[in-house]
Amino acid sequence: DSPPASTSLPPVTLEDHTRIRQSVLSAPPPPIPEGIEGCIGNTPLFKIKSLSEATGCTILAKAEFLNGGGGSSKDRVALSMINMAEEQGLLTPGQGDTIYEGTSGSTGISLAALARARGYKARIFMPSDQSMEKSDLLHHLGAEVERVTPAPITSTEHFVNLARTRAKEHTASQNDASKGFFADQFENLANYTAHLQTTGPEIYRQTGGQLDAFVAGAGTGGTIAGIAIYLKKIMGMGDDLKVVLADPEGSGLYNKVKNGVMFSNTEKEGTRRRQQIDTIVEGIGINRITENFEIGREFIDDAVRVTDVQAMKMARWLVEKDGIFIGSSSAVNCVAAVVTALEMPKGSRIVTICSDSGTRHLSRFWKMIGELGLEEEHENLLTLLGIKPT
């Protein structure tokens, strides 16, 4: 008896092989990336179907969690900062140099991976209220990690100031000739330049220049500045493109964009902790104006404030409806993209960023989503988020 048809493969003849090989190889082979560096950038821009349906607009997200170094948009920035440091002689491969950085995690992870690839050490200082999986990952990448109690930026114990000081001490030390390089993602303009040179052009190409709004949060401000400057200034989109800041609760940037002031008269800039209130969102929201935010400031048209509960509900919704599993800053971006879409004519195209994956946020953001019991099925996104269509 012959076996059932489903388990038997049809015969393939020698002529078939030749024909199939020729057809597969008829297009030129795609370039083979050089190591992890070659896997950074050129991320897909994908349509989020459920959000597009709910708003009557097209909502597109840049899948930055697919970057091949540390798995976030920060790979672009880390690569850009290391390249610039090498050009300026601040880092030299093979001499035992160490990269120092203060980071909520993502930049540190990207720097640690690229440090390995280029032959550097990495020492990372991060606030202790960030998720454990990020510091665990840093350990596994061979970085030295210090989790630092959150302190105001004016304090020498602030995680950024510690990184700067330790880098200086390293270079000054007489032990050997190796250097300490403080990457300084907040003030280092190689940060926004990375987005100006890569993310911005990719978005323009992927949309064919057909986009009406760009929405993103700011941690250092590099992403929103680089992309806004590229699209509005370099590509000349100007007022045809609305650039919107997505800001979590407790961040001062919303007020800065809306009212021009970050703090009330009784509050002094930089004296408060990272956030004015605790937020579950990691990576975006800040209470000082960084160089990377300042340079893009004039190109930001509006701001949307997003609550923690809205971000958590959005993250759950995207899993339920689209099978998309994202981190907290991406969820904030998606809420702000929906709010922006509702203020624009139907059919508008809105682009946002999904900076990293939910796997980076299992122990805080996703754990809290589980604890709050947000698993139930929902039918109406706007009711779920408490947003009224305008």
Selected binder of ligand PMP within 102, 200, 283, 285 (CB under 6 A)? 283
**Which 53-82 residues touch ligand PMP, going by CB under 6 A?**
72, 74
Q: Site mask, ligand PMP, residues 232-271, x = CB under 6 A?
A: ----------------------------------------
Q: Which of 104, 198, 287, 340 binds ligand PMP (CB under 6 A)?
A: 104
Instruction: For the segment 284-323, give every residue that binds ligand PMP (CB under 6 A).
Output: 284
Choose the binding region for ligand PMP from 140-148, 164-172, 199-207, 220-228 (rule: CB under 6 A).
220-228
Q: Which lies closer to ligand PMP via its Cβ, residue 60 or residue 77?
A: 77
Write the Ramachandran bin of 341: left for phi over 0, alpha for psi from -120 to 50, otherwise beta. alpha
1: buried, middle or exposed (CB in 10 Å: 19+, 13-18, 0-12)? exposed
Closest CB 124 distance from ligand PMP, rounded Å: 13
Nearer to ligand PMP, 180 or 222 (CB): 222
What is the distance between the alpha carbons of residues 315 and 41, in angstroms, rounded to a whole number?
A: 24
| 30: number of Cβ within 10 Å | 6
| Contact pattern from residue 16 through residue 45 relative to ligand PMP, giving x for each residue in contact according to CB under 6 A and a dash for the rest | ------------------------------
Cβ partners under 8 Å of residue 311, min gap 6:
248, 280, 281, 328, 331, 332, 335, 365
Among 101, 114, 128, smallest CA distance to 39 is for 114
For residue 99, give every residue at least 6 positions away whose Cβ sits within 8 Å of its Cβ, in sequence order, or none.
Answer: 82, 85, 91, 111, 115, 120, 121, 122, 123, 181, 183
Q: Is 355 in the site for ligand PMP (CB under 6 A)?
A: yes
Window of 55-63, 221-229, 234-242, 316-324 that interacts with ligand PMP by CB under 6 A: 221-229
- Number of residues counted as binding ligand PMP (CB under 6 A): 17
Residues 180-219 that bind ligand PMP (CB under 6 A): 217-219
- Which CB sits closer to ligand PMP, 221 or 250? 221
As a whole number of angstroms, the distance between CA 363 and CA 371 comes to: 11
CA distance 209 to 272: 40
Nearer CB in complex with ligand PMP: 200/217: 217
Which residue lies nearer to ligand PMP by CB, 58 or 191? 191
Closer by beta carbon to ligand PMP, 97 or else 356: 356
Among 222, 248, 296, 358, binds ligand PMP (CB under 6 A): 222
In the complex, which residue's CB is closest to ligand PMP? Answer: 283
The catalytic position among 62, 74, 121, 321 is: 74
Q: How far is the CB of 158 from ligand PMP (least distance, A)?
A: 15
Strand partners, 370: none
- Taking the complex as a whole, the smallest distance from the CB of residue 165 to ligand PMP amounts, in Å, to 21
To the query of whether residue 74 is one of the catalytic residues in this protein, the response is yes
- Return the number of the residue (43 or 329) whose C-beta is nearest ligand PMP: 329
Q: Comparing C-alpha atoms, which of 274, 168, 142 is closest to residue 220?
A: 274
**Interface positions with ligand PMP (CB under 6 A):** 72, 74, 104, 106, 217-223, 283-284, 327, 329, 355-356
Catalytic site positions? 74
